[in-house]
Structure 1
Amino acid sequence: MNDESDVLRPYPIDSSQDKVFRKIVFAKRDLIPRITSILLHIITYPLMILSKFLSKKSINEDGEEKSFLEIGPFYVSTRTNAMDSKYFYVVRDGKIWFKPIAAHPHASWKLFNKNGSIDNTKIPLISVSADGDNILAVDQNQIIHYAKSNEVICEVSFDCPQWKVLESRVKWTEKWFNMDGVSLIVNLFKNPILKSLPNYRSIAMSHKGHDTMYYTDMKGKKHPDPYVGVTTIYILNDDGTRIFFADPWLQNKFDNELTTPEDGQFKAETMAASASTVFLIQRARNEYGKEINKIFTRFADFDSIGSNPALRATYNQNNIIPLIRIIPSEDWIEQPSISLDEKARLTKNISILQIGWGQNNRQLRVQGQNHLGQNGYFFKNIYHAKWNFQVINDMIIDEDEFSSESVPHTGFERGPQIAFDYENGSLQPNVISPLQKLTLEKFSHRGLNERGLHTKLVLVLNHGFKLSIPLYARRGWKSLLGISHENIWKLVIPLEYFAQDDLYLKEILEKIFHNRSRHSVYVYERKDQILITNVYFSRYKFQFIFKNKSN
């Protein structure tokens, strides 16, 4: 974490947070889990004995395997190849096969969960993704299933290819909305089955839990999350311009969105994810025909971006209370492009792996060839600047995986513009003397919860001073239950403005905002205008009015 090469890290280091982290994590570990574990052990012990007996019996009966020659080694995930910190997984013949990462290189592959299928349905599978303790499979009907892999226990030998499954208890589910108690009622009225988007480019399982232990917000606060964890499925749509996500606590399924970089105009060719970190890549050719690439990452899930109303979050950058998350969260980070000299080139196959605690411990991988034309993968730590290359002599890459020479030499393709500036706004009550111009910058009609961090209300004062006020949004309880898509909106005035001596600025802050830094507002997108106004119970009222672009 203190490595000087950690140049892309967007948050500060606060050593005092280590003490807070240890107190919270180990208090939970030593007290609550012990009590819970003892009670659960007493209740479930008879069932556990029976389950182990049946599982072992079933495992011994099913001896179907594939040799290591039938399924070659892989080091970067694809739609049909996946890996987590424990196992390799592949989809072949409509079934999931797996083997431990720690097994001998010549170890054979076994059917996952004894039959390789979703319980006993035998529906052919077409895709697999894994991360942390979670595994995801998509069947031929585009239904998404997921399960926990932490109760699959294997015995391996470093000296011989033989390995065996000691225990395998896997329960697949296709019901996504699992909020305790509430789901029993809500799922009676809404279909909880999760289906993929038509013609999606990528789908990725993400699980943040005991392997990553905590995340750090933009002010250096550490937020432990070792026991409950955060499970997210990210999906990249058919043209690569939109990233949707689903969370077991969200009824809205793939209605939740993270806008792609470059204000939603970046077109990702492929997406990968791990422990709430999303990884995007786009390949292209420049005007000279040389292959080029653009890469982005972002740490973002429903909790960290501040949208979960069940978790305390604040826009107050001076807040030091533990477990209150500072928002907004991490923005998209443009990674260094991979230099492709001589024979070097890339495939679109990428992976991101958990390699330790905190979001700084992620490894990025991109499959390709180095300058000598050798197969392998480029890799680096997520916040480091330098890419390295690992040669894999037994890696086979089809020529079709590489970018075609026929790709137009036009640079990076961009998606349609979704964020616009709305100028010549008006204000009620009218403050004439200090205010020259009013603009709503980078506003998107998709909703600010999808947009991220860039929408701002900009007031230009008569002497040219710009007052730039971010406009943020979070989800509310009704949105969490799928009843409404309405957001909770905030205008957040940066605190440094209140410390300045500019008289015009002081007048604006007093007359319009009454020297308060944070304001709850409503945003109304009407046919002919966009209206931003205080919530109803505010003592002091203001309205910012902007003419709609379509008019």
Structure 2
Amino acid sequence: MENDYESLRPYPIDISQDKVIEKIVFAKRKLIPQLTSFLFTILTYPLKLLSKYKNKKLAEKNKTNEEIDAKEIPPIHISTSTSTMDLKFYYIIRYGKIWFKPIGAHCDSSWKLFGDNGFIDQFQTPLISISVDGDNILAVDENQIIHYAKSNQIICKVSFDCPQWEIIESRVKWTQKWFNMDGVSLVVNLFKNPILKSLKNSRNICMSHKGPDTMYYTDMKGKKHPDPYVGVTTIYCLNEDGTRIFFADPWLQNKFENELTTPEDGQFIAESMATSGSTLFLIQRGRNEFGKEINKMYTRFADFDSIGSNPALASTYNPNNNVPLIRYLPSEDWIRQPYINIQGKTRLTKDISIYQIGWGQNNRQLRVQGTDANGNYGFYFKNIYDKQWNFQITNDVIISENEFLSQSISFIGFEKGSQICFDYSNGQFNSNIKDIHFENIILEKFSHRGLNERGLHTKLILILDKNNQISIPLYARRGWRSLIGLSKSNLWKLVIPLKYFQNDNYQIQFILEKIFQNKFRHNVYVYETKQEIFITNTFCSRTKFKFTFKIKSI
């Protein structure tokens, strides 16, 4: 750790990786744009003229001078389902429409309709919630259909001295078709509905965009992986009881069938969730045995690419692999954030936010709305990997009493969800190799919902005797068929830690050679019946093995 402020950072710093980013940034900002811009301008100039003509006619047809006075809308410091902000604009939902104004505008400036008329379609379907991040904006209509658009083609003229501001250019194209994989989507969308709907009674639906504002992320080996061109768009959804997090990606047809297990082996109950730049932020409040308010918070950097489920991206489980742009797995796990000290008149709401403030996943700011020890309204904030929370007074926003933790909360401590992972011991081993005996075989923290994108810490533990054992992580990833919604199954791998190959114990070396042929990674099938769990190797091998565990009644 370089200093105390970075003490929560889970990955090391490798200065040499900055050269990779510098080359990508140079190509992004100079070389590639100069070559492509010229060709693109020549090829698309006639289409641009036609598009501008059509947009002008449409704008004239839908043009409205409706505005909302700044005094009618409280300042936005924390994002909610109807009021939010990104690096460029503030957004609100009012009267079933989206309104916005630039962050750099005068504080007394009015709100204008987003797009042509504030709606997402020609039918003017009322909207009920909104979420924004990076260049992306998400809106949910009254039918629970999720709509998605870009905000990077909106140009405004503002003045710090004058409340008036002007929209110079506004090109907003909404879509409700979620699966957009080039070429493949044309066929798949004919047979599978591409419309994305929110989960019933979900607690939060959050947009995340990792692109030019974040530029790259760092894996657990310290390697930096740029995402400046296409970026990564993800919608995260916290379910009704706060125990499950589902996510959708525009390149995934399986929609909200992808899951990230919540902290504490899936038993953490999140009151609310916020996301930004592929980083999730969860909070839970409770009371201790003395009735005093307490809080618990977690963050995790996780999207379809970083957790290793995108089969189009090269990745490795080998910690000795230092090749640039090869993603090291497993990815970042949940990080327990420092609690906010409740003293005096301090109280917290469940309204939380996370914002991008620079490149890399270390540049995220966390915010929690509440009061300080003197009862001032405002929000607590800190960098994601800092240890210390700070408080910003914002008495221009009055927090409603029902936003705070109810005095009627009767449970002591933090409420937990149902147990979803279990340990199974006394496993049976079958192989074509003789003279192999284990004192015990344990399948640790196995979830019957699957490994949920490496959300749990499942391990196969081979106990040779009381002094020797081999603990092998069991990881799960998505495959190609999952991308287009043809399969819900995972690809499973047993990954033997390299430390065992450096161990000179005869018994351990015998197991590694005879069963695993001295290979550290093994593709396996994991499947269940009503009575048993099976783990067996998948491809042709001179050694066939199968581990079998009896299922307990759950």
TM bracket, shorter-chain basis: over 0.9
In structure 1, the residue matched to 2:23 is 23
How far apart are 1:213 and its partner, in Å? 0.3
Asked if 1:131 corresponds to 2:141, the answer is no
Percent identity between matched residues is 68
- The letter of the residue matching 1:63 is N
Range 536-545 or range 10-19, more displaced? 536-545
Cα distance in structure 2, aligned partners of 1:126 and 1:87: 19
- The letter of the residue matching 1:271 is M
Asked if 1:519 corresponds to 2:517, the answer is no
Deviations 1:117-137 (A, max 9, x none): 003220000000000000000
In structure 2, the residue matched to 1:270 is 272
- The letter of the residue matching 2:42 is I
Q: 1:36 to 1:502 in 2, by over 3 A?
A: same
Cα distance in structure 2, aligned partners of 1:449 and 1:38: 45
Cα distance in structure 2, aligned partners of 1:239 and 1:52: 47
TM normalised by structure 2 equals 0.97
CA RMSD in angstroms comes to: 1.6
In structure 2, the residue matched to 1:42 is 42
Q: 1:293 to 1:31 in 2, by over 3 A?
A: same
Deviations 1:264-316 (A, max 9, x none): 00010000000100110011111111111110000000000000011111111
How far apart are 1:473 and its partner, in Å? 1.1
Aligned pairs (5 A) from 1:256-267:
256-267=258-269
Do 1:55 and 1:168's aligned partners in 2 also have CA atoms closer than 8 Å?
A: no
* Number of equivalences: 551
Cα distance in structure 1, aligned partners of 2:97 and 2:422: 47
Cα distance in structure 2, aligned partners of 1:463 and 1:285: 42
In structure 1, the residue matched to 2:468 is 465
Cα distance in structure 2, aligned partners of 1:538 and 1:30: 50
- The letter of the residue matching 1:473 is A
How far apart are 1:28 and its partner, in Å? 4.3
Q: 1:84 to 1:274 in 2, by over 3 A?
A: same
Cα distance in structure 2, aligned partners of 1:269 and 1:432: 53
Aligned pairs (5 A) from 1:123-522:
123-429=125-431, 435-522=438-525
Q: 1:169 to 1:437 in 2, by over 3 A?
A: same
Cα distance in structure 1, aligned partners of 2:536 and 2:12: 34
Do 1:67 and 1:107's aligned partners in 2 also have CA atoms closer than 8 Å?
A: yes
How far apart are 1:451 and its partner, in Å? 4.7
- The letter of the residue matching 1:418 is I
How far apart are 1:51 and its partner, in Å? 4.0
How far apart are 1:219 and its partner, in Å? 0.1
Range 70-79 or range 532-541, more displaced? 532-541
Range 163-172 or range 25-34, more displaced? 25-34
- The letter of the residue matching 1:308 is N
Range 436-445 or range 27-36, more displaced? 27-36
Deviations 1:128-170 (A, max 9, x none): 0000000000000000001000001111100111111100000
In structure 2, the residue matched to 1:5 is 5
- The letter of the residue matching 1:242 is R
How far apart are 1:221 and its partner, in Å? 0.4
How far apart are 1:527 and its partner, in Å? 2.1
How far apart are 1:38 and its partner, in Å? 2.3
Cα distance in structure 1, aligned partners of 2:154 and 2:166: 11
Cα distance in structure 2, aligned partners of 1:431 and 1:200: 53
Do 1:56 and 1:166's aligned partners in 2 also have CA atoms closer than 8 Å?
A: no
* Secondary structure of 1:449 counterpart: coil
Q: Which runs of 5+ in 1 are unaligned?
A: none
Do 1:175 and 1:192's aligned partners in 2 also have CA atoms closer than 8 Å?
A: yes
* Secondary structure of 1:46 counterpart: helix
- The letter of the residue matching 1:403 is L
Cα distance in structure 1, aligned partners of 2:380 and 2:53: 45
Do 2:79 and 2:85's aligned partners in 1 also have CA atoms closer than 8 Å?
A: yes
- The letter of the residue matching 1:466 is Q
In structure 2, the residue matched to 1:538 is 541
Do 1:119 and 1:171's aligned partners in 2 also have CA atoms closer than 8 Å?
A: no
How far apart are 1:56 and its partner, in Å? 6.0
Cα distance in structure 1, aligned partners of 2:536 and 2:379: 52
Cα distance in structure 1, aligned partners of 2:23 and 2:454: 36
- The letter of the residue matching 1:378 is Y
How far apart are 1:32 and its partner, in Å? 3.2
Deviations 1:323-368 (A, max 9, x none): 1100110000010111111100011111000000000000000011
How far apart are 1:22 and its partner, in Å? 1.3
Deviations 1:366-410 (A, max 9, x none): 011000000010000001111000001211211111111111141
* Secondary structure of 1:356 counterpart: coil
Range 447-456 or range 257-266, more displaced? 447-456
Do 1:277 and 1:359's aligned partners in 2 also have CA atoms closer than 8 Å?
A: yes
* Secondary structure of 2:162 counterpart: coil
Do 2:180 and 2:250's aligned partners in 1 also have CA atoms closer than 8 Å?
A: yes
Cα distance in structure 2, aligned partners of 1:455 and 1:368: 38
Do 2:476 and 2:492's aligned partners in 1 also have CA atoms closer than 8 Å?
A: yes
Range 319-328 or range 354-363, more displaced? 319-328
How far apart are 1:435 and its partner, in Å? 2.2
In structure 1, the residue matched to 2:551 is 548
- The letter of the residue matching 2:122 is N
Q: 1:182 to 1:433 in 2, by over 3 A?
A: closer
Q: Which runs of 5+ in 2 are unaligned?
A: none
Range 320-329 or range 22-31, more displaced? 22-31
In structure 2, the residue matched to 1:74 is 76
Do 1:376 and 1:393's aligned partners in 2 also have CA atoms closer than 8 Å?
A: yes
* Secondary structure of 1:16 counterpart: helix
Do 2:308 and 2:477's aligned partners in 1 also have CA atoms closer than 8 Å?
A: yes
- The letter of the residue matching 1:489 is W
In structure 2, the residue matched to 1:91 is 93
Cα distance in structure 1, aligned partners of 2:55 and 2:107: 27
Do 1:80 and 1:91's aligned partners in 2 also have CA atoms closer than 8 Å?
A: yes
Do 1:434 and 1:462's aligned partners in 2 also have CA atoms closer than 8 Å?
A: no
- The letter of the residue matching 1:37 is S
Cα distance in structure 2, aligned partners of 1:87 and 1:123: 23
How far apart are 1:2 and its partner, in Å? 4.8
Cα distance in structure 1, aligned partners of 2:258 and 2:526: 19
Do 1:522 and 1:533's aligned partners in 2 also have CA atoms closer than 8 Å?
A: yes
